[in-house]
Structure 1
Amino acid sequence: MRRKILLPTDFSRNAWDAIAYAVDLFKNEACDFFILNVYDYTGFALDNINVPQAHNEYSKTVQEKSMKGLERILQQLSFRDEGSDHNYYTISKQDSLLSAIKEVVELKDIDLVIMGTKGDTDALNVSFGSNTVLIMEKIRNCPVMAIPPDTLYADPTEIVFPTSYKTHYKKRELGYLIDIAKLTNAPIRILHVETSKELNETQLNYKQLLEEYFADLEHSFHTLDKNDIGAAIELFVQSRNSGMIAFINKKHTFFGSIFSQPLVKELGTHSKIPVLALHDFRN
């Protein structure tokens, strides 16, 4: 079965790096890649009595720029992606980034969104940056992977999966984490940031479930005694030179409650390694 992957772009270098990362990550997989450019000219105004005509001309120019940019990406991909079972489709839309991604995810039954964390602030396009965090939070029916600037693809040395052991994960919610671990032969490192001395019975049960889910993969359990979850993850990742972070955004619990706090901004816009945001499909 072919994977369907959405690649938003604002034609910045970071957006191209994210596209290249996605293509290399799935180089041996059958994939349909949908490359999306969103443009917006709602703030456009002219001191001219013939505004409608001027606006229409400007609209056409903006749309043409978007289409030409997408054509250039297809040309670049044709030079570097020979021999792979990959199909590429381009989508140009006047819309907000979030709205456009939501629509395409639904219409095309997208499996995964991969996007950069920085972008141009050109008036015709949408800067990624804080929008990446918004997408990671709001797109809840498929995973979102954020690729930091200057990231060249390499199989991840390991994937760090932080957890509190306080919530019941379903195996299907971990599907893309398991897929990527198998695809890249990357071990999974389950990281518990300890805020109390011992796990209670419920936590022990959820830890056992993770053991079952990851049974066919190389994995290990780790604990750090630290009150600051973000600092603990950063310390763990840096000390081990980890290659990816994956977490589940569950509303009202652990990570789900910190999307308004600095940690997710660090993960979404300042991380030096790719971040995979999985979601609790029940919310």
Structure 2
Amino acid sequence: MKKILIPTDFSTNSYKAIDYITELFKNEACAFYFLNVYNYGTGGLSAIEMLQADDEWFEKPKEESLLHLGDLLDEYTVNKNNEKHEYHVISESLSLVKAMEKHIESIDVDLIVLKGNAKISKNIESIVGKIRACPPVLIVPPYASMNKKINLAIASNFTEEVRTNEIDSFLEIFKNTNFIITVLALTNEKDMPDETSRHIKLLCNHLENQTDKTVALEFTAKSDNLKTYAISHLSSIMCVVDKKPDLLRKIGLCKSRVISTLEKLHNNPVLTIHQ
């Protein structure tokens, strides 16, 4: 059973992301973990005021978090029951990144699902850019569409060999799902170096052996064409490859290069994987 961690703030977009992923994996055995983080809003309070605060002040944020998580649990266990799915709730008084780091390890998470917006949120930047031991992250925009056959489009310039561990892990969840794979090479087919050609062939051969499916290969020389492809394939899951966060990214001195790519793809579900 695959384990999927979904941070939620109980917003409409958050519910839409959950609806998308539960429908996408409706034929797969999955355990969904809904995570909500809360804080005590201590900004502006002095140390003395915090010491004088009663138990009710401290308990209220936790109780509200658990109440909303209970409503969310009822929605998916009772109203949208799927015998292949099980649901769990987690409430934490931590930053979102700290809470996710904690439960990625304790649960052994296979996939993270985040709600998307018109702009890349600070939460997405932090999770994609700073969590090193991060499984694949699927970002779901509010109006994500889905066809009967899912197209996973893997985009890269292939200047380096693409490691396939996280792609394999994601595809493993699709055992009973109708899908196709497209490799989108962000390079000019006529002028590409031999090394780039070798990296493309290695990935295509691996994916075909792994899935017993024919992999479609497309080339686009300009990075802007990635956005054009995405717009013309709105139901496709766009897969982009990122390097694991180093120390400079973890402390916020530089951003992941994949963030600028994500900004071009905000209308598509996007899967980010670490190299």
Same fold by TM-score greater than 0.5 = yes
Equivalence for 1:122 = none
TM-score after normalising by structure 2: 0.84
Distance 1:103 1:264, change over 3 A: farther
Equivalence for 2:231 = 238
Q: In 2, distance between residues paired with 1:56 and 1:262?
A: 41
1:200 aligns with 2:183: no
Give 1:181-196 correspondences, 5 Å limit.
183-194=176-187
Give 1:98-137 correspondences, 5 Å limit.
98-118=97-117, 129-137=121-129
Equivalence for 2:273 = 278
Paired residue secondary structure (2:77): helix
Q: In 2, distance between residues paired with 1:258 and 1:60?
A: 36
| Contact 2:116-2:141 at 8 Å conserved across structures | yes
Q: In 2, distance between residues paired with 1:261 and 1:162?
A: 11
Structure 1 gaps, min length 5: 120-127
Structure 2 gaps, min length 5: none
Distance 1:34 1:10, change over 3 A: same
TM-score after normalising by structure 1: 0.82
Out of 152, 156, 160, the position equivalent to 1:159 is: 152
Q: In 2, distance between residues paired with 1:239 and 1:83?
A: 32
TM-aligned CA deviation for residue 30 of structure 1: 1.7
Amino acid at match of 2:165: R
Equivalence for 2:71 = 72
Equivalence for 2:214 = 218
Q: In 1, distance between residues paired with 2:181 and 2:256?
A: 23
Distance 1:243 1:261, change over 3 A: closer
Q: In 2, distance between residues paired with 1:136 and 1:189?
A: 23
RMSD across aligned C-alpha pairs, in angstroms?
2.9
Paired residue secondary structure (1:76): helix
1:17 aligns with 2:16: yes
Distance 1:32 1:172, change over 3 A: same
Equivalence for 1:32 = 31
Q: Which shifted more, 177-186 or 232-241?
A: 177-186
Distance 1:279 1:262, change over 3 A: closer
Distance 1:244 1:182, change over 3 A: same
TM-aligned CA deviation for residue 21 of structure 1: 1.6
4+ runs deviating over 4 angstroms: 46-50, 152-157, 180-183
Amino acid at match of 1:225: A
Distance 1:40 1:85, change over 3 A: same
TM-aligned CA deviation for residue 46 of structure 1: 4.3
Out of 155, 166, 177, the position equivalent to 1:173 is: 166
Amino acid at match of 1:129: S
Aligned-residue identity in percent: 29
Q: How many residues in Structure 1 have an aligned counterpart in Structure 2?
A: 263
TM-aligned CA deviation for residue 100 of structure 1: 0.6
